[in-house]
Structure formats: C-alpha cells, structure tokens
Amino acid sequence: MDRLSSLWNGLDARRRIVALLAAAAAMLAVWGLARMATEPSMSLLYAGLDPAASGEVISALEARGIPYEARGDSIWAPEGQRDALRMALAADGLPQAGARGYELLDDLSGFGTTAQMFDAAYWRAKEGELARTILALPSIRQARVHIANPPRRPFEQAPTPSASVSVSVGSGALGEAQASAIRHLVSSAVPGLTAAQVTVVDAENGTVLTEEGGPESPQAVEDRAARLKANVERLLEARVGRGAAVVEVMVDADMNSETVTERVLDPQGRVAIHTDTQETSEQSQGGEAGGVTVASNLPDGGQQGAGGSSSTANETRERVNYEVSEVLRERIRRPGEVRKISVAVLVDGVRTVNDAGEVDWTPRPEQELQALRELVESAIGFDPARGDVVTIRTLEFTAPADLGTSASASGAADFLAANAMTLIQLGALSLVALLLGLFVLRPMITRRVEDARTLELEALPAGAGAREQAEAAVALAGEVIDAGQITADRLRALRDLTGERKDDAAALLGLWLEQGEPARETA
C-alpha cells in the first residue's frame, strides 16, 4: 500500500488523469465481462405471432417479472425458463391461435338475437375452429377459413356450399399432400361440402393449389413409375446384390380424357313386344225398283213381289310391334391411362479373386440375363401389344470413391457454434482490458521506477567513480534479477557472477546499505 501511495505521489497531474481513465476503463471492461458471464442465455419462445398475440404474451411476461427480448416477430426468453413459460402461458390460453371459435356463441343471449344473427355467429365460430385445427398442422404459421353457405329459399334445390382457405407456411411452399389434407378437413366439417368445392391458396406465393391427388394426375404417374422401379430393384438385388443393379422405369401415360358412347342395333335379334288384331265383317242386300202397292206393305208382301241380291265382306287386320335388340355402351377414359412402359436395367458382372489376389470381372451369362428379363417383365406387367420395352445389359461398374468424412460427435464445436457471438464479445472486452494494462498502466509504472532509480543515482555523493560503480552494480543486478520471476537457476547465476565480479558486488551491497541507513534513522 505504501508503494502504491509513493507511486501515486510521484505522478504529475496529466499522468494521474490518464491513470484514472485507464482504471475506469479497466473497471468497465471487467464489469462488462462479469455481466456477460452472469447474463442468462436467451432462447426462442415464440415466433411468427400476429401483433395482437405478441402483445398479450409480452404483457404476461412483464406481469411475471421475467426478462424478455423482442426481435422482429419473435419473442426470446431465458433458456432455462423457456419450457416452463410455454406451459404456464398455455394454461392461460396464450398465445391465442387464430380467430375465436365456439366461444363466440357464449356472448349471444336469448333476447334480441335473431336467426340471421345466430347463423352468422355460428359460421364465424366454425371458421375459427377450422383455422385453429389447421394451425395445429406442421409448418403452418397462419390460416384463415371462409365458408360460403347460401341461404335456402322455398321451392329451390338445396344450394351447394363452398369454402376457401388461405394458408401461410414458415418457410418454403405448401405441399400438395398438406393441401389435400386441408381440403378433406374442411369438407368433412361442413355438411354438403365436397373436397372439390374447397380452394386452398398459398398466401406466401399467391398461388392456388389444385387437386392433384387423383389417379389421373402427373404426380400419380410418377409415383407409379417409382413403385415399379422399387419392385424391380428389390427383385434384382436378391440375385446380383445391393448396389450391383441400376434400374430406370419410364411410364408413358395418356393425360387426355375421353368419353365414348356406343349404340349397337341388331335387326336380326328383334323381339315382338305388342300384337293388335282387328276383324271387320260387312253384309248388304239389294232389289229391283217397283211401285208401292198394298202388298208391299204386308209382312210377306215385299218378298213375294220383289227380287234382289245380297253380299257379305269379312276383313282381318293384325299389327305386331317389334323391339330391335340394342346395346348401349359408354366408356369414360380418364387421364393417366398407360400407353407404354420402358425399363432399362444395368447389372454388374461377376467379380472373382484369382490366385494372385487380383479381382477379375466377367460379364454375366446370357441365360442369366434372359431369366432376369422374364422376372422384370412379370414385375411390370409386360404387354407386347402395348409396345412395352425391357432392356437388360451387363457392364462393369466403377467403384465410387469415398465421399465426405466420418461423422463424429463434437461437443466443443457445437458449443462454439451456438455461443459464437457471446465468445466474440468476451474476447473483445478481454482484449481491451489487456491493451489497457500493457500499453497504459505498465508504461506508467515502469517510467516511475526508472525515475526513482535515476533520483537515487543522482543522490549519491560525487566521488572517485562512485556513480560509475553504482551504475555497473545496477546493470549487474538487472542481468540476473527479474521482479516476480526469481528462481533457483537465477539465484545460482547470481552466486556465480558475485564470485567472478567481486568488486561490482561489493559496490552494489554498499549502495544498498547506504539506501537503508536513512530509512532506519527515520524510523
């Protein structure tokens, strides 16, 4: 403490100010290092929330007195409390996912609520519940559902409802499988709604995702080719081994749709379905003209007095209705009908080791290739009339070089990658503190010691070579003494130098004795 006091008293005003500023900077650096070391590591709590939900979560964190950081649309909390905070906020219903659901119906009272008001609230609640369910799907960040259900009117058929869904994903684009799942989810929740009436829109890209999951879609054709390829590869690997066969399958499908209606009439195959028979009989009589007498008015007078003729006609009509044999065929050809299948197979030959230890390669025999061809044709459903082609060749495979490096667990690398920014900040503060100590404090202390040594030499009496002897003694001591690093080797070197340069050692001891006498007298 006395040494520090004497050192401080020996500094001028400018050096004192510099020393104070350096000490303050060093203290700030140490304080920053201590704060960074004790500051909790922040971890992502929630991301992608809408502003209203983010405000509710921040209010809940402030009420609990938990530190947080808001970075854009994400909220960060202490890593050690993240999981507990999520469960606690979930118990409070935070963050609210999507719009309000059936709780909207709780606000409706029986008085003053019309049927139209209830229907509107019901469909809003239905949309909110569907949006919440869609948000529970993986990678879905935001979702909105709109349902159009026209009102029913008397003497009209029941209208067909429709729906539209707007979806935002965290990264990338919404897949066709997820879009199909959303369509069936919405259509199953609304009576009378079919999946074809549900439109799914990717809000990030502004595109409409059409229904492409049927058997007529190009994706279905590619899936069929992939299945055939997997079947053929599994079949060949059982014989030639894994990695010794390469298979490529191409399915040529007709993506046009066609409806053919055929009507065939067979006149020879008629069938009587109705018969109508009509018979007509007519009879007539005639006589010669004569005068009217009394005899003609008598019952038998007409026959006796007149001669004539009579005729009878019979007619029969028959009408038969026949139904001609008719065959009506309607054929609907949907897109995706296979027109041709082409398969290319490349198999490796047979590798054997000779007596010299070298590997010999020989192609596979033709009989084996023919057997493999028959197996492939059976696996793909080969149809010669369709023009299917199967090509099998045996060629030597080139062994690929080993790629990449072996994976090994590295905890240090993971730690550095996760805390890179924190380590950089610590290193910068440590470097500042080290520079202050080396280039500010150390030069000041060293200069002060040199000044004190110069004053001591100047205080010596001017005698015959006294100053020169003192300087030589000080130089001798400086050669072997280093403050704070006195070891056994240095003590041994000091003894050797003292034996060799006895005069210089005696002068140095005399100088130390002279410096110690005033101190004892003062005490």
Both tokens of 354, joined, read 């000779």
**Residues with Cβ < 8 Å from 383, sequence gap 6 or more?**
341
Helix or strand run (H / E) with residue 415: helix 411-418
- Identify the band that residue 296 occupies on the pLDDT scale cut at 50, 70 and 90: low
pLDDT at 223 over 60: yes
**Residue 471's pLDDT band (cuts 50, 70, 90):** low
Based on the fold, state whether residues 129 and 200 are members of the same structural domain.
yes
Q: Are residues 372 and 242 in the same domain?
A: yes
Among the residue ranges 238-247, 270-279, 280-289, the one predicted with the least confidence is: 280-289
Looking at 211, 242, 272, which one is the last position of a domain? 211
Residue 235 in any domain: the answer is: yes
The burial of 296, by beta-carbon neighbours within 10 Å (0-12 exposed, 13-18 middle, 19 or more buried), is given as: middle
Q: Are residues 179 and 119 in the same domain?
A: yes
- Judge if 23 and 140 occupy the same domain: no
User: What pLDDT score does 215 carry?
Assistant: 47
For the residues 67-91, what does the mean pLDDT come to? 82
Higher pLDDT, 123 or 39: 123
Q: How far apart are CA 269 and CA 241, in angstroms?
A: 63
- What confidence category does residue 520 fall into, taking pLDDT thresholds of 50, 70 and 90? very low
Cβ(468)–Cβ(57) under 8 Å?
Answer: no
Strands 337-347, 389-394: parallel, antiparallel or unpaired by DSSP? parallel
Q: Is 48 in the same domain as 33? A: no
Task: Tell me which residue of 393, 373, 370 sits closest to 382, measured CA to CA.
Answer: 373
In a domain, 508, yes or no: no
Work out whether the CA dihedral 19, 24, 25, 27 comes out positive or negative.
positive
pLDDT at 345: 93
Q: Please check whether residue 99 lies inside any domain of the structure.
A: no
Same domain, residue pair 245 and 388:
yes
In contact, 170 and 48? CB cutoff 8 Å: yes
Split at pLDDT 50, 70, 90, the class of 232 is very high
Last residue of a domain, one of 344, 366, 395: 395
| Residues 135 and 196 occupy one common structural domain | yes
pLDDT surpassing 80 at residue 102 = no
Under the banding of pLDDT at 50, 70 and 90, the label for residue 378 is very high
Q: Answer with the residue of higher pLDDT: 13 or 243.
A: 243
Question: Do 26 and 54 have their domain in common?
Answer: no
Spatial CB neighbours of 139, under 8 Å, sequence gap ≥ 6: 169, 170, 171, 172, 178
pLDDT per position as a tens digit, 318-377: 888 878 778 888 888 777 788 899 999 999 988 888 888 888 888 999 999 999 999 999
Residue 352 lies in a domain: yes
Which residue would you say has higher pLDDT here, 441 or 73?
73
| CATH number of the domain where residue 64 is located | 3.30.70.1530
Q: What is the token pair recorded at 384?
A: 């010669």
pLDDT at 505: 75
CATH number, domain at 194?
A: 3.30.300.30
User: Do residues 192 and 125 both lie within one domain?
Assistant: yes
Residue 423 clears pLDDT 50, i.e. is over it:
yes
The answer to whether 49 and 57 have CB atoms below 8 angstroms apart is yes
Bridge-based pairing of strands 162-169 and 140-148 is antiparallel
178-189 residue pLDDT tens: 888 899 999 998
d(CA 293, CA 296): 5
Q: In this structure, is residue 206 part of a structural domain?
A: yes
Residue 522 has pLDDT above 50, yes or no: no
In a domain, 315, yes or no: no
| Spatial CB neighbours of 265, under 8 Å, sequence gap ≥ 6 | 324, 325, 326
Mean pLDDT (the chain, rounded): 75
Domain that includes residue 363, residue range: 223-256+335-395
Residue 214's pLDDT band, with cuts at 50, 70 and 90, is very low
Regarding whether 347 and 237 lie in a shared domain, the answer is yes
Residues 47 and 33 occupy one common structural domain: no
Give CA–CA dist 51/57, Å, rounded: 10
- Specify the pLDDT at position 484: 44
pLDDT in the model for residue 357: 82
pTM of whole model > 0.75? no
405 lies in some domain: no
Q: How confident is the model at residue 66 (pLDDT cuts 50, 70, 90)?
A: confident
Domain count, the chain: 4
Residue 21 domain flag: yes
Residue with tokens 């090509």: 391
- Shared domain check, 366 and 250: yes
Q: Of 14-28, 32-46, 133-147, 389-403, which range is least confident?
A: 32-46
Report pLDDT digits (tens) over 244-258: 899 999 998 887 878
pLDDT at 389: 93
Give mean pLDDT, residues 91-118.
Answer: 72
Mark which of 176, 211, 246 sits at the end of a domain.
211
d(Cα 370, Cα 271) in Å, to the nearest integer? 57
**Tokens describing residue 502:** 């006895």
